[in-house]
Amino acid sequence: MNKVNVYGSFTQALFFSGVVSIPKYLLTHYTKIGLSDHEMMVIIQILCESESNPYPSIATLAGRMNASSSNIEEDLGGLVERKLLTIERYWNPVELKWGNSYSFVGLIDELAELWAIERSQQLEEERVLKQNQVSPNITPLPNSTNPAMENLVQTFEQELGRLLTRLECENLDRWLSSHFTEEIIIEALRRGVSAGIRNFRYLDSILREWEKKGLRTRAEIEAEDANFQSRQEKKTTKPKNKGSKTTSNKYENFYL
């Protein structure tokens, strides 16, 4: 095969042997939703396999990336824990059996919220610009004279590394109006940041869960956490029932 034919064959194989579609918004914003370069490459490799194999093995991904299986397993665990990736069951009509597949619904939700925030900021900037052209007076944010509100806005902007949108400020105002204290709103933010999830929908779910349990202060929340941890430890250290030594039953350990 001459040089021209080799080049032509390579070009054909490169461009026509299969294309993986990666949304541009994901490629340009993955770091803003807390993804590392390595995690992003894991996602790309899963997408690359999705058409023929919706649940590629850790060994397959490790081989593709020249990475260790433990590193891939750690990346996948982090993505699942942050709900950016989920594992779902599906029925394979060809093989007539159930199988697993990776779902990116959580990742899409995170990107959609980020896009909505950026779009809201853009619209807010345009509104302020237009308003300044008409009048130098700018309408204040909800309850901007409330010290608790001002502190929350400042704290959230410092943690998130950006200005809050008007909609996000309205969320903070709604939480305060719902009798959530400044203390536990900040605690919810702290836990969201620790989990790598910074969207307001996730924070709202934390606050509603505490409200359902009747937890109103950080001390009560920490006490509930300690009780939960204690119950989990008791479950893992609960002694097994050895049963009677005089009888032999092959099912005696089945329900332990």
State whether 33 and 98 are in the same domain: yes
User: pTM of the prediction?
Assistant: 0.52
Q: What's the pLDDT at 248? A: 46
Q: Are 64 and 46 in contact (CB under 8 A)?
A: no
Neighbours of 246 (CB within 10 A): 5
CATH number for the domain including 167?
1.10.10.630
**In Å, how far from its chain's centre is CA 40?**
13
Based on the domain organization, do 163 and 191 belong to the same domain?
yes
Q: Which residues on adjacent β-strands are paired with residue 100?
A: 89
Same domain, 197 and 185: yes
Distance of alpha carbon 72 from alpha carbon 22, whole angstroms: 20
> Which one has a higher pLDDT value, 179 or 42?
42
SS3 137: coil
Tokens 């590193």 locate to 71
Enter the tokens of residue 254.
């089945």
Domain around 80: 18-137
Tens-digit pLDDT profile for residues 207-216: 999 999 898 8
Nearest to 110 by CA among 195, 180, 21: 195
Report the CATH number at residue 85.
1.10.10.10
Q: What is the distance of C-alpha 123 from the center of its chain?
A: 26
Please state the rounded mean pLDDT for residues 224-252: 64
User: In terms of domains, do 129 and 23 share one?
Assistant: yes
Alpha carbon distances (Å) from 78 to 81, 84, 174, 198: 5, 9, 31, 15
pLDDT digit string, tens, across residues 45-94: 998 888 788 899 999 999 989 899 999 999 999 999 988 999 999 888 88
**Are the C-beta atoms of 42 and 75 separated by less than 8 Å?**
yes
Q: Which residue, 29, 21, 48, is CA-closest to 102?
A: 48
Do 60 and 114 fall within a single domain?
yes
Looking at the 3D structure of the chain, how many domains does it have?
2
Could you tell me if 106 and 148 lie in one domain? no
Tokens of 28: 């340009």
Predicted confidence (pLDDT) at residue 175 exceeds the cutoff of 90: yes
Other CB atoms within 10 A of residue 34 CB: 16
Domain boundary among 137, 172, 190: 137
Domain-located, residue 92:
yes
* Pair 36, 110 in one domain: yes
CB burial of residue 84 (10 Å; 0-12, 13-18, 19+)? buried
Q: Is 103 helix (H, G, I), strand (E, B) or coil?
A: strand
pLDDT of residue 251: 33
Backbone angles phi, psi at 101, to 5 degrees: -150, 155
Residue 99, domain member (yes or no): yes
Return d(Cα 231, Cα 132) in angstroms, integer.
Answer: 58
Q: Do 84 and 193 have their domain in common? A: no
Q: In DSSP terms, which residues pair with 90 in a beta bridge?
A: 99
Q: How many CB atoms lie within 10 A of CB 8?
A: 12
